[in-house]
Chain A
Amino acid sequence: MAVALVLVLIVVGSVLFHLLSPWWWTPIASNWAYIDNTIIITFWITGIVFAAVVLFMAYCVFRFRHREANRAAYEPENKRLESWLTIVTAVGVTALLVPGLFVWSRFVNVPSDATDVEVVGQQWQWSFRLPGKDGKLGTSDTRDVSADNPLGVIGGDPNGQDDVVVEAADLHLPVGKPVKMLLRSIDVLHDFYIPEFRAKMDMIPGSVTYFWFTPTRTGTFQVLCAELCGQGHPLMHGVVVVDTQQDYVAWLGQQQTFAQLSAPQQTGSVEQAPGKTTGLKIAAKLETAGAR
């Protein structure tokens, strides 16, 4: 009796928790409401299966619990029932998979009007690079990374000269324009994750990975690193600001290009660029933590 009751309570409790608890996803800020919808479909299907199985168990435990002179039935197989259940399960699984793969094909096929934005991860800070007037990012190589060239842009590539470099500071994006995030790392794996955009992807040294999205509302969003990258991992936060077109243009106007940054007289100021210190701050914080 008690056992059957607890099983029922588990189902009821889980459903109520799902419906009433305050813990839920953050309000979405990108076009990936498709993903949210797929999650909702999945919650429905799996929720129904969970409730059905556990309630059925509760019924069995209640109805067929041992009593004097009870005897179990003898029924090794039931081909029809077994095939039925297999078919129903296959249908349920297909109902999950088809919308899932449909949305995935959207996720991996980038619209042609998306602007490239490069993100570079390193222990433990984020930097960004935007194409200049030519609309093209210059090529890069980890071997070219140095204090003056923190992103490893290949100096000889003319496409790279007008690239806007945002080193260890906030990234701004215009609202309503699709962007293709090109993800690189110069040391270990990182993962560029913004919960409100519902998207993330690992960054791998030596490769360029990507995902795309369209920001759908303005605001300030926290970037989290979602791939363990050493002790500074939980502190590797960044900021993406989604602006109106006007604010975005104003921000862009204040940024410096690769050519400006690598001109000799400018190197000193790079070192004091405002965001430059975040990575160091984390390192210092870790050091004091270790010393405690």
Chain B
Amino acid sequence: MVDITPADGIPPAEVAEVELYHPRSWWTKYVFSQDAKVIAIQYSATATGIGLVALVLSWLMRLQLGFPGTFDFITPEAYYQFITMHGMIMVIYLLTALFLGGFGNYLIPLMVGARDMVFPYVNMLSYWIYLLAVLVLVSGFFAPGGPTGAGWTLYPPQAILSGTPGGQGWGIILMLSSLILFIIGFTMGGLNYVVTVLQGRTRGMTMMRLPLTVWGIFTATVMALLAFPALFVASVMMLLDRALGTSFFMPAISEMGEQLPHNGGSPILFQHLFWFFGHPEVYIVALPAFGIVSDLISTHARKNIFGYRMMVWAIVGIGALSFVVWAHHMYVSGMHPYFGFFFATTTLIIAIPTAIKVYNWVLTLWRGDIHLTIPMLFALAFIVTFVNGGLTGLFLGNVVVDVPLSDTMFVVAHFHMVMGVAPILVVFGAIYHWYPKVTGRMLNEMLGRFHFWVTFLGAYLIFFPMHYLGLMGVPRRYAELTDMTIMTESAHHLNSFISIMAFIVGFAQMVFLFNLIWSIRHGREAGGNPWRATTLEWQTPHTPPAHGNFGKDLPIVYRWAYDYSVPGAKEDFIPQNMPGSFGPSREPA
């Protein structure tokens, strides 16, 4: 290690660098790799693969809803298996894994100026356990009786009874086992991300100089470490109820004329445990998206993110508050009605920091120099979609308004907007943004624009009208919409329209996948910093970054991540590792 004289109040290195693990064979380099960048790609590829399964399932569901009675193979049993696997895959195995395991692994070490995660071996294990969890999940499709059809919320008692597909078969057992594995694997990765952010930052990289991407992923990881244990114990308890006949969640039940041996358990207890995990989970998916989109907007509008400290405060505030709002998913669950007052209040309070984030994004655009690149387009689309979905949250969070809307298509439309489409748009934006760093080449621009417009407008056309079906009273999770007196003929036509849009949007994703693969070889050469961005991952000596990320010396950080268009500077961006002063510093301290 070379000794560098401390400059600009940069503290000297406290400890000498630890030698990295160096792979010796092809296997340890590309398969059982301990390099966070390789693990990130493994995570992302696996999540994309399983995500495609969830996409195909959504088409099957839309076939049934859009054209009821036409497709005989979609029985109610199959429909419930589809929604359950679709929902669980999308939320956990795709989005959580992609944001934390994928983006977290790739970006945290690079952005904080570290050579790798602090515990590379555990990091590797994390991926392999995740892969195992995915395989166990998928094996449900091949098990006798098929996967569970209990809904992604897995509410007992039905989840483990015979009236539900997979309830008395293998389905529910495999689902719960897979979740348990996922949580174990995630915990290994999650501890890594947290410790790396806290302990692995390079010299000069104070917490308040971290890019918001890192703040988002870091806070989401802390939340996940606190929230997943609730799902873990709930899964173990339900597994015991199912396999050993305990009664954690099972009261006395008379099922189809037969008295079951269970007694004394509480179905509501499961719901509390599930949503104590489930609500923070929404933000586990949202916060990384918030962080990433902030950086996309700032970079492509060539302007510092507006109100950085407020943004950090809002991320942390939302993270903390989201642990005291869980029962807004249970307003009509039959819990004590007075809880409604408390949870409606906390839920609407959380709207305030969330709104601040939105204001700061649009105020970053104000007086910017907006380059309408594909990442920027996706960021704009994210804001529109997220604002739409967030605002319908004010309906559902306001307890009495939730009464008619709960468990209807309004809810399906709301959560798809806010935690389905909005984060996915950020995922796309992020991929167009960082693909050049990962592969050294740009994604094809024309295919990208096609993908953007179809996905953004198509998804809006799927989910915006769907709210009105819910307002009309159409319940969610209805495998058959026949004999519904409240549904007019035109409501069925609307459903067909929504389904057709869903197929079109799905097709655009195939174009995107083609672009991903095609551009690896045929994309335009990107160079090291095609977006002229300030953060450290763009300042690596090699693109893609080599093992160890930063060559011989780690970078030293002299400024925050948002020095765009600094008055007096020649270029319109100043990398974080560039020493020197350009007029009085405006960096918020």
Q: Which residues of A are at the interface with B, using a C-beta cutoff of 8 A?
A: 3, 6-7, 10, 14, 17, 21-26, 32, 34-35, 38-39, 42, 45-46, 49-50, 53-54, 56-57, 60-61, 64-66, 70-78, 81-82, 85-86, 89-90, 93, 96-97, 100-101, 103-105, 107-108, 122-124, 141-143, 145, 147, 152, 183, 186-189, 191, 193, 195-196, 198-207, 209, 211, 222, 224-235, 237, 286, 289-290, 292
Contacts and interface: CB of A to CB of B under 8 A. Distances in A.
27 contacts: A23-B469, A25-B472, A26-B486, A57-B362, A66-B302, A72-B572, A73-B303, A74-B586, A76-B587, A89-B352, A93-B349, A96-B398, A104-B400, A107-B337, A108-B338, A187-B157, A188-B157, A188-B158, A201-B334, A202-B332, A202-B333, A202-B334, A204-B267, A226-B406, A230-B163, A233-B80, A286-B77
Given A64-B370, A227-B407, A101 B399 contact: yes
Nearest to B491: A23
Interface of B: 72-73, 75-77, 80, 149-151, 155, 157-158, 161, 163-165, 167, 251-257, 259, 266-268, 301-304, 306-310, 332-334, 337-338, 340-341, 344-345, 348-349, 351-352, 355-356, 358-360, 362-363, 365-372, 377, 380, 383-384, 387-388, 391-392, 394-395, 398-401, 403-404, 406-408, 457, 460, 464-465, 468-469, 471-473, 475, 477-481, 483-486, 488, 490-491, 494, 562, 564-567, 572, 586-588
Contacts of A100: 344, 398-401
Contacts of A93: 348-349, 351-352, 394
A89 B475 contact: no
Nearest to A77: B307
B408 A226 contact: yes
A101 B407 CA distance: 20
Nearest to A124: B163
B158 A104 contact: no
Contacts of A107: 337, 400, 403
Contact of B334 (A7, A26, A203): A203
Given A206-B252, A222-B484, A73 B401 contact: no
B464 A23 contact: no
B468 A21 contact: yes
B362 A60 contact: yes
Nearest to B73: A292
Contacts of A49: 387, 391
Nearest to B566: A74
Nearest to A102: B400
Contacts of B472: 23-26, 195
B391 A46 contact: yes
Contact of A42 (B75, B266, B394): B394
Contact of A143 (B252, B306, B310, B464): B252
B587 A25 contact: no
Contacts of A105: 341
B350 to A, nearest CB: 10
A224 B407 CA distance: 11
B487 to A, nearest CB: 10
Contacts of B486: 26, 195-196, 222
B565 A74 contact: yes
Given A76-B588, A77-B310, A206 B404 contact: no
Contacts of B494: 23
Interface centre among B267, B481, B491 (most CB of A within 10 A): B267
Contacts of B352: 86, 89-90, 93
Contact of B380 (A3, A209, A233): A3
B368 A60 contact: yes
Given A76-B304, A142-B254, A198-B403, A97 B370 contact: no
Nearest to B560: A76
A283 B468 CA distance: 31
Given A108-B338, A187-B157, A17 B464 contact: yes
A230 B464 CA distance: 28
Contacts of A14: 464
Contacts of B340: 104, 108
Given A23-B465, A74-B586, A232 B76 contact: yes
B256 A123 contact: yes
Contacts of A187: 157, 161, 163, 253-256
Contacts of B333: 202, 204
A235 B484 CA distance: 9
Contact of A60 (B151, B365, B394, B400): B365
Contacts of B252: 141-143, 205-206
Contacts of A32: 404
B407 A189 contact: no
A35 B306 contact: no
A82 B348 CA distance: 19
B398 to A, nearest CB: 4
Contact of A75 (B306, B460, B473): B306
Across the A-B interface, give the 6 residue pairs with the lowest CB-CB distance, nearest first: A195-B473, A230-B163, A206-B251, A209-B334, A108-B337, A72-B303
B471 A189 contact: no
Contact of B384 (A10, A64, A96, A203): A10
Contact of A97 (B356, B398, B587): B398
A191 B253 contact: no
Contacts of A237: 483
